[in-house]
Amino acid sequence: MAHIFLALFPLIALIATGYLFKTYQFFSAEFWAGAEKLNYYVLFPALLFHTLVTAKIDFQNLKYVIFVMFAVIAVTTIVLYGIKYLKDIRPARFGVHVQSIVRFNTYIGLALVAALYHKEGMAILAILLAVSIPVVNVISVLSLTSSENMALKPVLLALLKNPLIVSCLFGGVFNALQIPLWDGILNLLKLFSSSSLPLGLLCVGAALQFMEMKKDVPALLLDTAARLLVMPALAYVVCMWMGLSALETQIMVVFFALPTASAAYILTKVLRGDSQLMAAVISLQTLCAAVTLPLVIWWVG
């Protein structure tokens, strides 16, 4: 448990620092907008691409890991859509619930797995990210889109413009085809990558909006419990059923125990969803994850 807290402390400290910087206006609002844009369009895609290109990925052995990931996301999505049609939830609100439970904070995941599970864990996480980021973005966009506006062309264009999806696709292709890259480019990507996680975690803290947590408390608690407790438990059951190794099971459970992505707020706002509820969910899950993540890691370990 001491090792887990040692790995988590820098992440929590960076998020708290970002929150304090924003609260006491150490930097202007324009700085945070620029930092988020820089990280979302440049630094974080570089990190994803570099992680995938340099990871030693055995696609054949990891096919069961990919299957488990798809199985957990598929079961969750089917259950959520079933609830939607039973309760007639409008897309603006339904999209928030879907993103709250299906999406994950990649910044925290990468930093945590690197600290606890090192290169072996990062190789597994890299393939999970390459496959899951496009999948959860598709699900998120569709969940926020009403059936009247669900035309194929605009949805595809929105997905193809997503820098995270593009970087994952290119990284996976370069790795699978063993396309060589000049060392100078790799070193540049490494520098971008090393900047992305600290800046990303600071931005996560700056995006926290605890005042929004007073709204719709039952929905907040349900979404938070589903993401931080039910999802990792479901992942563990499927991992046991599929007979995954101890390391693969640990990475999978931690992956599904991460709080939802802070970028979900941006997507929700762009697609005219309930952005205030999304901000509240992100804030509560990030706060609660400081307690649940150590417990889940200790339990699965």
Q: What is the pLDDT of residue 148?
A: 64
Half-sphere exposure of 254 (CA within 13 A, CB side): 31
Q: What is the pTM of this model?
A: 0.86
3-state helix vs strand vs coil in the chain, percent to 5: 85, 0, 15
Residue 56: pLDDT over 70:
yes
Q: What is the token pair recorded at 195?
A: 């900047």
290-299 mean pLDDT: 92
Residue 46: pLDDT over 90:
yes
Give the residue with greater pLDDT, 270 vs 43.
43
- Domain locations in the chain? 57-179+212-295
CA–CA separation, 288 and 263 (whole Å): 18
Give the residue with greater pLDDT, 254 vs 154.
254
CA–CA separation, 209 and 253 (whole Å): 27
Mean pLDDT of the chain: 88
pLDDT band at 150 (very low <50, low <70, confident <90, very high): low
At position 65, the amino acid (one-letter code) is: V
